[in-house]
Amino acid sequence: MKLAIPRWTGALALLGAAAAPAESADATARRPSLFSIPLQAQALARSAQGVAALRPARSPFGFALTVDGTFIFDAEVTVSGLPEPAKLGPFRTYAVWAANAELTEVRLLGTLHPDEPTKGKVAFSKFLIIVTAEAGTPGPRWKGPVLLRGFSPSNYLENFGAKTLLNGGAIPPQ
């Protein structure tokens, strides 16, 4: 069966593109990348920096999804400027984690090796990428201090005013 598409639809598309206001280069430069998560250094590792690059996971059906419809991303975490783990305390390795926004689900993406990115799969709608120092082989959840952290782009849509922790502990108005 062949679909007939009216010829005037192309003209409408062009008209819509022409009517849309052009975005300034300055506005585009300020917008965060949706597939690159900058990792912010915490107190113990102020000289460290990193980035988590996200790519849609491969699938023969287009987008890779979980059973409940959450996108699956391939994450590649690159970090520089971390000292040897032993210089921070009784630690032997660094680990990279993905956690949902509520920190109720945590997944180990892998251990961090010098000059090598850590790769893993992330399947949360809103999530954090966390780099920690660990005393031994990482278990199901981190035990050491958080050295770097970054929020997924979906967290930009979060209403932080409704978070009790972020509004001085007061109960938000109803």
The pLDDT profile of the chain, 174 residues, written as one tens digit per residue, is 454 444 444 443 433 444 444 555 555 455 557 789 999 999 999 999 999 999 999 888 888 999 998 999 999 999 999 999 999 999 999 999 999 988 999 999 999 987 799 999 999 989 999 999 999 999 999 999 999 999 998 876 766 565 555 555 555 455
Residue 122 falls within a domain, yes or no?
Answer: yes
For residue 159, what pLDDT is reported? 63
* Backbone torsions φ then ψ of 26, nearest 5 degrees: -65, -40
Range of the domain at 45: 32-153
Handedness of CA 129, 134, 136, 141 (dihedral sign): negative
Side-chain-side CA neighbours of residue 147 (13 Å) = 31
The pTM of the full predicted model, rounded to 2 decimals, is 0.73
Residue 173 falls within a domain, yes or no?
Answer: no
Q: Compute the distance between CA of residue 75 and CA of residue 117 in angstroms, rounded to an integer.
A: 10
Residue 164 falls within a domain, yes or no?
Answer: no
Q: Compute the distance between CA of residue 17 and CA of residue 32 in angstroms, rounded to an integer.
A: 23
For residue 165, what pLDDT is reported? 53
Residue 13 falls within a domain, yes or no?
Answer: no
For residue 154, what pLDDT is reported? 81
Residue 111 falls within a domain, yes or no?
Answer: yes
Q: Which helix (H) or strand (E) holds 17?
A: helix 8-19
Residue 167 falls within a domain, yes or no?
Answer: no
Q: Which segments of the chain are extended strands (E)? A: 36-41, 49-56, 73-80, 93-100, 106-112, 118-122, 127-134, 146-151
For residue 6, what pLDDT is reported? 45
For residue 34, what pLDDT is reported? 76
Please tell me the total count of domains within the chain.
1
Residue 104 falls within a domain, yes or no?
Answer: yes
CATH of the domain at 54: 2.60.40
